[in-house]
Amino acid sequence: MSSMTEVPAESAAGRKLTKGTFVACVFAALVAQLGLSMPAVLQGIIQLDLNPSSTQLTWVSDAFLLPVTLLELTFGVLGDMFGRKRLLTVGSSLMVIGTVIAFLTPTGGSHGMKFVYLFGGYGLAGVGAAAMFPTSIAMLAAGTHTVKARSEVFSAWAVALTVGGFGSPVMGGLLARIHHSGGADASWRWAFAGLACFALISTVITVVGATNSSAKEGRALDIPGQILVAIGVFALVYGVIQGAEGDWTSGTVIGCFIAAVIFLVAFVFVERRTEKPLVQLELFSNRAFVVTSIVTLLAMFAYLGTAYATSIRVSAIQGHSPLFTAVAFILLNIMGAVLFPVSPFLLQRYNPGWVLALGAALIGVGDVALCLIPSTHDSLWAIAVPLLAVGAGFKTAVTSITAVSVNSVPTSRAGMASAMTSMLRDFGLSLGPAIVGAVALTKSAYEIAAKVAASPQLQDALKAFNAAPSHATGAKKAELEGAVGAVNSGPLGANGVPAPLNPLKDVAFHALSNGYALGYLICGIAALLAAVLAAVLIGGREHEERFVSTDPEPVDVAQS
């Protein structure tokens, strides 16, 4: 346990960021991003091992992303109230526990129990990351007070996200090559064991090296607000993902969308009347903060939508190994490391609105190029340049998003601003796989159905294939039943069973290629819209050199 010494408020503005705090925050961001990016190279092998439906495969990503989105605001408040070092420690500890549970996903037993372990464990890790993302950046903001200082530490924080973005697929791809007693396709579990080790290291670094900070004044838990926003966001994402099953007019999907509107409107209503709200809505009276929030949502949706589409394209559609897929994610993220010395220079020299517009535009241009390259182009060289452009745009956008949003509020409100920005960023990231997956799979399913309806020969072949298990016995019958179940589970399953056994293989391959091309295009349009908004509405704003708080932040110094 740490002993707490209150530093006088007047000294807060001059407090320097310690090396231990800097390392703890940057490493925590790295670990949280490792967790967020982990499914990227594992989608294909998880499909082979667990035979999930199309929507279950989408939940592999959103099981982590959704709790990050839902809980970041509350964790921002908890860090401000009770100390950010404590919360960062709790977050990394939860990641350790959650990833160990995911690693222990059974290889036998019921199909449903396997997903309980995977989704439950990975979701708990997401709860930990929900504490780590906003807390790490709030701790950095609390110790820096000029454009130059914040630009440098925010750029390092963004580089940590980038390194996590390409390091996680590489780590996952390598660890998935380790033999697992459950079989070759069960080896994805080792990736979660590796993630647990990184989270444990983060816990130790935080406990040993970080200095605590807090901003208690005006902060309180807003339980009604948290419940309303959590239900609203969950209903929206759940409706989008379940809509990919093919029936957007079902009562469940429509009910989710109605519930999302009701609860999110109620959230705003309650926040306006709460003495100490989860979100101080006056933050949205600042044009830079509002526009940055919208741009954040659009750009991050585009980025992770791109990453998800690329993961599906390379692993599930083209059938490449996790390690091969990892190379695509190195291309997607390597520009973040290359641009590390450039980003602070751009933010110090140019208006951050223009820098933000440039980042979003690069994502948009890369996505438009990707939508024009069909999956029949099997080589990574075909998509290398567009992926590099998207990665450069992500690095540029993330750094400027953080600077514009947090710099627009007093230091004492950095925790709230960073939590709100992180929530919007990760809400956009959650929507990426959900919307891209829903649109792509819906289009693919309609295209496959149209091809089957137009071809009597294909109808006869499919009928014979579905009847094949009834003419077999023993192990052969079980194998055929598994193949029939996979093909009829949706477009990804129909593509996963090889020809000539599967009559839909070729049709499903081209349908999925077209479906995810549409996903890339939607991401490109969203990113280009974000670029226009940033250029037009933030581009002419004055750039402050120092951040003055009329409400200085009290600082707690933790001693181990």
Residues 75 and 176 reside in one and the same domain: yes
So what's the pLDDT on residue 419? 63
Say how far apart CA 223 and CA 156 lie, in whole Å: 34
Residues 517 and 476 reside in one and the same domain: no
CA angle 434, 245, 112 (to 5 degrees): 90
Residues 420 and 440 reside in one and the same domain: yes
Q: Two tokens at 533?
A: 């908004």
Say how far apart CA 197 and CA 40 lie, in whole Å: 19
- Rounded to two decimals, the pTM is 0.78
Please report the beta strands in 496-554, taking only residues with DSSP state E, as ranges in sequence order: none
Residues 174 and 247 reside in one and the same domain: no
CB 308 within 8 A of CB 41: no
Residues 213 and 230 reside in one and the same domain: no
CATH number at residue 156: 1.20.1250.20
Q: Two tokens at 334?
A: 């390597």
Structural domain of residue 63, as residue ranges?
3-222+276-447+509-559
So what's the pLDDT on residue 271? 84
Say how far apart CA 111 and CA 115 lie, in whole Å: 7
Residues 200 and 319 reside in one and the same domain: yes
Rg (CA), the chain: 24
Which of 180, 189, 44 has its CA nearest to residue 117? 189
Say how far apart CA 458 and CA 503 lie, in whole Å: 7
Total residue length of the chain: 560
Residues 434 and 419 reside in one and the same domain: yes
CB 52 within 8 A of CB 115: yes
H or E element, residue 555: strand 555-559
DSSP code string of 318-382: T---HHHHHHHHHHHHHHHHHTTTHHHHHHHHS-HHHHHHHHHHHHHHHHHHHHTS-TT--SGGG
H or E element, residue 7: strand 3-7
β-bridge partners, 5: 557
CA angle 322, 164, 214 (to 5 degrees): 150
Residues 107 and 160 reside in one and the same domain: yes
Q: Give the three-state DSSP class for 557.
A: strand
Say how far apart CA 448 and CA 54 lie, in whole Å: 15
So what's the pLDDT on residue 555? 44
Residues 163 and 217 reside in one and the same domain: yes
Boundary (domain end) residue, out of 212, 247, 275 = 275
One-letter amino acid of 128: G
Residues 325 and 429 reside in one and the same domain: yes
Residues 137 and 247 reside in one and the same domain: no
Q: What residues have CB less than 8 Å from 115, skipping those under 6 apart?
A: 50, 52, 56
Say how far apart CA 225 and CA 228 lie, in whole Å: 5
Rounded to the nearest 5°, which phi and psi values hold at 558? -95, 135
pLDDT truncated to tens, each residue of the chain (560 aa)?
A: 333 333 333 344 446 788 999 999 999 999 999 998 888 778 778 887 887 877 787 788 788 988 888 887 788 778 878 889 999 999 999 999 999 999 999 988 787 899 899 999 999 999 999 899 888 988 888 888 776 787 788 878 878 887 887 788 888 888 988 888 888 888 999 999 999 999 999 999 999 999 888 777 666 778 888 899 889 988 988 888 877 665 678 888 899 999 999 999 999 898 888 877 777 777 777 777 788 888 889 999 999 899 889 988 998 899 888 888 888 888 888 887 787 777 767 777 777 778 888 999 999 999 999 999 999 998 889 999 999 999 999 888 877 776 777 666 666 666 566 667 767 777 887 788 888 988 998 899 899 999 999 999 999 999 998 998 888 888 888 888 888 888 887 888 888 888 888 899 999 999 999 999 999 999 999 999 999 998 888 765 554 433 444 444 444 443 33
Burial class of residue 499 in the structure, from the number of CB atoms within 10 Å of its CB (0-12 exposed, 13-18 middle, 19+ buried): exposed
Boundary (domain end) residue, out of 275, 304, 339 = 275
So what's the pLDDT on residue 416? 64
Boundary (domain end) residue, out of 467, 485, 508 = 508
Residues 387 and 249 reside in one and the same domain: no
Domain total for the chain? 3
